[in-house]
């Protein structure tokens, strides 16, 4: 229920601070900047690119090991040979815990992808095909980037010029990577579905996107890409 035409969200301070801390682990300006940087550089796209590749290769059995191998080989956690040593070590470590924490995230997304692949559709785009899933979920991460920036601004973690920089970055990414708002909508909806699976709120998100694509007063209709 936030405003859609201003820097401020219009939400109450308690809801904002609780939401940022519980959902994002943000309780300070430094943590806000770190989260925004992570969303800009990788976000859920990092996991999606891996699990989509594994899924498209037809991996059902052994998918967990293949996803773990892909995470290790990505270089995200350090040199692969070093990471393998952490995994095989009997003692616990922060590095090992991080890898298996992110493996859990990736496996959840893999399960959601399996349940929604070629199932998603909206009234404007129709059914989503393989080419839509292979295009990735950049729009989803861009949407989250803007949301976190605005919430952080309301909580006093960001200055207005910092939010402006985030919005300018998002605008560039949208202009370069999308040719229409319906294309953007597909990318966002797939990202949401990969994160949440087929729950009730997914239908609400799709309905909002349909309104944005069709309502004559919508900013998407008034300002097409």
Confidence category of residue 98, pLDDT binned at 50, 70, 90: very high
Tell me the sheet residues that pair with 127.
121
Alpha-helical segments (H) within 89-215: 94-116, 130-134, 138-154, 160-177, 181-196, 200-214
Separation of CA 90 from chain center = 33
What pLDDT was estimated at residue 48? 97
What pLDDT was estimated at residue 40? 97
How far is residue 221 from each of residues 79, 82, 101, 167, measured CA to CA in Å? 47, 51, 41, 20
Percent with pLDDT over 90 in the chain: 84
What pLDDT was estimated at residue 60? 66
Which two three-digit tokens encode residue 218? Answer: 């919508």
Neighbours of 201 (CB within 10 A): 9
DSSP letter string over 41-72?
Answer: HTTTHHHHHHHHHHHHTT--TTHHHHHHHHHH
Using one digit for the tens of pLDDT, what is the confidence trace for 21-53? Answer: 999 999 999 999 999 999 999 999 999 999 999
- Work out the average pLDDT over 101-114: 95
Using one digit for the tens of pLDDT, what is the confidence trace for 120-176? Answer: 999 999 999 999 999 999 999 999 999 999 999 999 999 999 999 999 999 999 999
What pLDDT was estimated at residue 52? 96
What pLDDT was estimated at residue 42? 95
pTM: 0.93
Residue ranges of domains in the chain:
18-29+123-222, 45-117
Return d(Cα 215, Cα 210) in angstroms, integer.
8
DSSP letter string over 156-191?
Answer: TSS-HHHHHHHHHHHHHHHHHH-SSHHHHHHHHHHH
Confidence category of residue 4, pLDDT binned at 50, 70, 90: confident
């Amino acid at each position: 229920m936030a405003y859609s035409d201003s820097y401020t969200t219009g939400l109450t301070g308690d809801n904002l601070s609780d939401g940022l801390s519980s959902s994002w682990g943000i309780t300070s300006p430094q943590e806000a900047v770190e989260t925004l940087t992570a969303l800009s550089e990788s976000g859920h796209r990092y996991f999606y690119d891996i699990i989509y590749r594994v899924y498209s290769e037809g991996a059902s059995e052994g998918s967990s090991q293949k996803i773990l191998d892909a995470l290790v080989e990505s270089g995200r956690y350090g040199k692969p040979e070093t990471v393998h040593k952490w995994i095989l070590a009997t003692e616990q470590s922060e590095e090992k815990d991080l890898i298996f924490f992110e493996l859990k995230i990736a496996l959840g997304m893999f399960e959601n992808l399996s349940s929604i692949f070629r199932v998603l559709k909206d009234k404007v785009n129709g059914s989503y095909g393989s080419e839509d899933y292979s295009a990735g979920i950049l729009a989803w991460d861009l949407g989250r980037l803007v949301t976190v920036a605005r919430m952080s601004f309301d909580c006093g973690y960001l200055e207005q010029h910092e939010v402006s920089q985030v919005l300018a970055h998002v605008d560039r990414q949208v202009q370069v990577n999308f040719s229409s708002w319906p294309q953007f909508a597909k990318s966002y909806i797939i990202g949401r579905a990969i994160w949440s699976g087929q729950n009730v709120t997914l239908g609400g998100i799709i309905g909002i996107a349909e309104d944005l694509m069709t309502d004559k007063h919508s900013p998407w209709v008034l300002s097409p890409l």
